[in-house]
Amino acid sequence: MESNVWKYWRLKPKLAPDSVELSTQQFGTPLTQSSMTSDEYKSAVLQAKEHILAGDIFQILLSQRFERRTFADPFEIYRALRAVNPSPYMTYLQARVCILVGSRPEILTRVKSVIMLSNCWFLNM
């Protein structure tokens, strides 16, 4: 086991750690869909602050989903994201209907024995 770990750490990375050229001309219209308006997001922030002051919660993660049509290669987007924000938990998930690319501060999924656990409750596939 120990020798396998050592072999793993000696391997050269298959992806270069430098920057990635991503042509922005491959993108379509600027923004096609958002899960909430700017005013709705600001309202959610104010509501979260009220809950923190009331002692109901001590931390919150507000998020917003943006969608945009692109003709860029999703894996090139992943590489560019990795170059600008090298999170320890990068995501590249290819499903039948979509490809999810992300950078998170915590684990998205993990496998224990034969069970896959997900911290991502918003995936609908």
Verify that 38 and 51 share a domain, yes or no: yes
What 8-state DSSP symbol labels residue 13? P
Q: How far apart are CA 125 and CA 123, in angstroms?
A: 6
Q: Which run of H or of E encompasses 44?
A: helix 38-54
In a domain, 87, yes or no: yes
- Cβ neighbour number for residue 24 with a 10 Å cutoff: 7
Verify that 85 and 121 share a domain, yes or no: yes
Residue range 9-43, pLDDT digits in tens = 666 556 555 556 656 565 556 666 778 888 999 99
Residue ranges making up the domain that contains 61:
33-66
In a domain, 2, yes or no: no
Verify that 85 and 114 share a domain, yes or no: yes
Is the full-model pTM beyond 0.85? no
In a domain, 4, yes or no: no
